[in-house]
Amino acid sequence: MLESIIAIVAGLLIGSFLNVCIYRMPRDISVVRPRSFCPHCEHPIAWYDNVPMVSYFVLRRRCRYCRAAIPWRYLVVEFFTAVLFFAVVHALGLTAAAARLCLLMALLVGLTFADLEERFLPEEFTIGGMLVGLVFACFVPVDDMIAHALLGAFGVHWTERWMSLAESVLGAAMPAGFLWLGGLVFEKLRHKEGLGLGDVWMMAMLGSFLGLRATLLTLVVGSILGSVIGFVYILATRKQAGTYQLPFGTFLGFAGILVALSGQQVIDWYVRNWCS
Ligand SMILES: [Zn+2]
């Protein structure tokens, strides 16, 4: 019970901070100073008007000073982060593994909504997140065995800590490398930019946390989600398919959350049924 409350409160507070990051990072404003302000009238927001989720309803979705509407994204990000933190702590307890997974969830929620709203993937989350993922791999084992197998084939047997770091490095480098190469080929063939570098770094961040297999699964799930939802959206809104820029990071983010919460079971099922 206490664990769940801690998880939900932490999720709400971090969700609130993510909202600040999503608005400020694309605009190059510091996330520390100035303190929270209304993006419309720039009036500072008092602490009692800044309580996650609660203030949104108390203020009836409007700024106290200028009455401008507060975007729904503020509510959704706080709620979503709290639910994900709760799910992680419910499964893993208050452990280092839960802290690592919660951090990944926060990064993915931030990237998902930043790309949806601003078509922007902050490097603090992608490159910064990847570095944190690599460091975490030294303390919480990355759940994969591809690097184990590759190194084992060359007679290399490191301690678990170094093996985990090897899984993290492989996960960060390979899928991101594929994506980068794919983008390069697309650019050469079609003479326009297919993927931003932000997507490539986001992939590297995912890989540093999830290892190679789960990251490849994320890429597949994200691409399917992006194709289906993007196709339906373009049809429904009659946007120009050739010029509409799909927020690939958003689909990758959703896929990453799905895979991180359930991926190992999916991979195990696939290996059991198709690879034996
Ligand atoms: Zn205002």
User: pLDDT tens digit string along 88-129?
Assistant: 998 888 999 899 999 999 999 999 999 999 999 999 999 999
- Using one digit for the tens of pLDDT, what is the confidence trace for 37-62? 998 999 999 999 999 999 999 999 99
Domain ranges, ordered by start, for the chain: 1-94, 95-276
Q: What pLDDT score does 194 carry?
A: 66
Q: What pLDDT score does 276 carry?
A: 59
Mean pLDDT of the chain: 90
Q: What pLDDT score does 234 carry?
A: 84
Q: How far is the CA of 147 from the centre of ligand 1 (A)?
A: 52
Q: What pLDDT score does 131 carry?
A: 97
Q: How far is the CA of 41 from the centre of ligand 1 (A)?
A: 4
| pLDDT above 70 (res 266) | no
| pLDDT above 70 (res 264) | no
Tokens of 114: 């930043």
- Using one digit for the tens of pLDDT, what is the confidence trace for 64-87? 999 999 999 999 999 999 999 999
Q: How far is the CA of 44 from the centre of ligand 1 (A)?
A: 9
Residues 32-56: b if buried by 16+ CB within 10 A, e if exposed? eeeeeebeeeeeebeeebeebbebb
Q: How far is the CA of 84 from the centre of ligand 1 (A)?
A: 30
Measured distance CA(272)–CA(175) in Å, rounded? 23
Q: What pLDDT score does 268 carry?
A: 66
Q: How far is the CA of 37 from the centre of ligand 1 (A)?
A: 8
Q: How far is the CA of 46 from the centre of ligand 1 (A)?
A: 12
C-beta neighbour count of 74 within 10 angstroms: 22
Q: What pLDDT score does 101 carry?
A: 93
Q: How far is the CA of 53 from the centre of ligand 1 (A)?
A: 17
Q: How far is the CA of 156 from the centre of ligand 1 (A)?
A: 61
The answer to whether 94 and 69 are in contact (CB under 8 A) is no
Encoded amino acid at 43, one letter = H
- Using one digit for the tens of pLDDT, what is the confidence trace for 184-232? 888 888 877 767 889 999 999 999 999 999 999 999 999 999 999 988 8
C-beta neighbour count of 68 within 10 angstroms: 13
Specify the 3-state DSSP secondary structure of 200: helix
If you average pLDDT over residues 134-146, what whole number do you get? 90
CA–centroid distance for 228 within its chain? 20
Q: How far is the CA of 45 from the centre of ligand 1 (A)?
A: 9
Instruction: Kindly report whether the global pTM for this prediction surpasses the value 0.75.
Output: yes
Q: How far is the CA of 106 from the centre of ligand 1 (A)?
A: 27
For the chain, the residue count is 276
